[in-house]
Amino acid sequence: MSAVNISIIGAGSAVFSLRLVSDLCKTSGLHGSRVTLMDIDEGRLAAVQILASKLAEEMSSSLQFSKTVELEEAIEGSDFVINSALVGGHSFLERVRSIGEKYGYCRGIDTQEFNMVSDYYTLTNWNQLSYFLKIAEMMEKHAPNAWLLQAANPVFEGTTLIRRHSKIKMIGFCHGHYDVLEVAEALGVNKAELDWQVAGVNHGIWLNRFRRNGEDLYPLFEDYASSYECNKFKPSNPFNVQMSPAALDMYSFYGLVPIGDTVRNSGWKYHYDQQTLEKWYGSPWGSPDSEPGWKWYREQLGEVTGATLALAKAIEQFPDVSLEKLITEGSKGLSSDFTREADQLYDKDSMSGEQHIPFIDAIANGNSARLVVNTLNEGVIEGIDDDVAVEVPAIVDKDGIHVEEIDPVLPERVIQWYLRPRILRMEWALEAFMEKNPDLVVEILLKDPRTKSFEQARAVVQEIFDSEGWSE
């Protein structure tokens, strides 16, 4: 058993932080660990510290929490640094999006072919990318042996950028691959019997292996697809897109099932306008990345943030009250996903699904785990450069990360028509960022079907980069 020093940057993201703390409480090998919570928002930070301490106390786990607004203080002496900060917050993303919309770019200029996820800004959120490098640099100085676990988006651009420019040990995580289980459930396959692999890049992963006891289950999916009635698809919430008509249509073109956020990160065919979105992702939202879908998500986030602050206040005033009871009662009015989430916090048999704590337990204690990780390709996926971050399954243990052989390999259709174009966009975005050159962003926009003139692209980029206080 190893007690370790973990710092969480952007810890004010309450749902994420409490998931991690709950996982820590359920991981006996990490009891005794010290957790430093860091955020620039002192109100959110104080609330998370109160809730985290109470949660650990109620779950009888000996964890110590401290808080700071100083990045350096958080990193100093850490063994593991988890970054979940969103520099500028959602309001920054909305501001940039609204400038884009003013110039005719529906859902903003960062919404691009194969990158439709609404908080995954690659073209304009240079402050976020700069912060990634700042954390890495600070780790080189103050915690050179520590691991950086990247949760903040864009994970694809971020992992590639940090790994190319820093020597620190680093890994990116996303939870989208769990939707493999949704595919299994839809087909009536027992999840425990499943032999699966996914491979690709973050938000662009494909179900390359789908077997049970050596039997290929793709024919089962084929049967499902051939009797599928698109007009009957009714999502339970905007994120419920794994078995949407868009996913099945992508399967028919690419030959593999797209998994998780890959279904959102599709082509313009599915995203032209609200009517098109609803056709492919179901009504009434048409995916989380439509105007109503993202509004739904922001409202849920707002409610959760408000509830977190209120809960922390209640605990501060009445320290003996049960947090478990308050959370269970309080989550009843929220969507079923958040209610399930609240129930899971105290359920000792159920981890949150975030991979950070199992990763730390594997590295620190040798409790090996099969995880899906973002790491440099280094020959894993044929046809992709070595220094590009890929998302692939790996066994993690005390000796590090052992990426699985991708078998069967991804088809050419996925490599040539999805991954390579997405990788090229990542390279363009990183070059624009590294050179701090907005002209390159204009050049990228010229390839966007929404651009009708050079003047339109130049004007939108100029207004975005003139209007914001860039840190560089």
Q: Does 157 bind ligand NAD (CB under 6 A)?
A: no
Among 87, 342, 414, 440, binds ligand NAD (CB under 6 A): 87
Residue 175 near ligand NAD by CB under 6 A = yes
Report, in Å, the least distance between residue 43 CB and ligand NAD. 9
- Catalytic option among 31, 142, 175, 385: 175
261 as an active site residue: the answer is yes
Stretch that binds ligand NAD, among 10-18, 184-192, 225-233, 432-440 (CB under 6 A): 10-18
Under rule CB under 6 A, residue 90 binds ligand NAD: yes
Give the binding-site size for ligand NAD (rule: CB under 6 A).
26
Selected range binding ligand NAD among 146-154, 217-225, 278-286, 338-346, rule: CB under 6 A: 146-154
C-alpha span between 160 and 164 (Å, rounded)? 6
Count of C-beta atoms within a 10 Å radius of residue 124: 26
Q: Hey, what amino acid is at 197? A: Q
* Residue 85 within binding range of ligand NAD, rule CB under 6 A: yes
Part of the chain binding ligand NAD (CB under 6 A), chosen from 9-17, 218-226, 321-329, 396-404: 9-17
Told to judge if 175 belongs to the known catalytic residues of this protein, a careful annotator would answer yes
Residue 278 sits in the site that holds ligand NAD (CB under 6 A): no
Residue from 12, 100, 258, 330 in contact with ligand NAD (CB under 6 A):
12
Residue whose CB is less far from ligand NAD, 309 or 445: 309
**Of residues 114, 52, 29, 53, the one with CA closest to residue 367:** 29
19 in contact with ligand NAD (CB under 6 A): no
Q: Does 255 bind ligand NAD (CB under 6 A)?
A: no
Closer CB to ligand NAD, residue 39 or residue 249?
39
Nearer to ligand NAD, 90 or 169 (CB): 90
- Given a contact cutoff of 8 angstroms between Cβ atoms, the answer to whether 233 and 245 are in contact is yes
Query: 90 or 420: whose CB is closer to ligand NAD?
Result: 90
Binding mask 283-302 for ligand NAD (x = CB under 6 A): ------------------x-
For residue 412, the number of C-alpha atoms closer than 13 Å in the C-beta half-sphere is: 0
Calpha distance 134→455 (Å, rounded) = 34
Residue 200 contacts ligand NAD per CB under 6 A: no
95 binds ligand NAD (CB under 6 A): no
Nearest approach, Cβ of residue 198 and ligand NAD (Å): 14
Residues 39, 179, 261, 289: which is the catalytic one?
A: 261
Tell me if 155 contacts ligand NAD by CB under 6 A.
yes
Q: Please list every residue from 300 through 319 that binds ligand NAD, using CB under 6 A.
A: 301
In the complex, the smallest distance separating the C-beta of residue 266 from ligand NAD, rounded to whole angstroms, is 18
Question: Which residue, 265 or 451, has its beta carbon nearer to ligand NAD?
Answer: 265
Binding mask 28-47 for ligand NAD (x = CB under 6 A): ----------xxxx--x---
Tell me: does residue 468 bind ligand NAD (CB under 6 A).
no
Q: Which residue is nearest to ligand NAD (CB)?
A: 12
Q: Contact positions toward ligand NAD, by CB under 6 A? A: 9-10, 12-13, 16, 38-41, 44, 84-87, 89-90, 119, 131, 151-153, 155, 173-175, 301
Give the catalytic positions in this structure. Answer: 175, 261
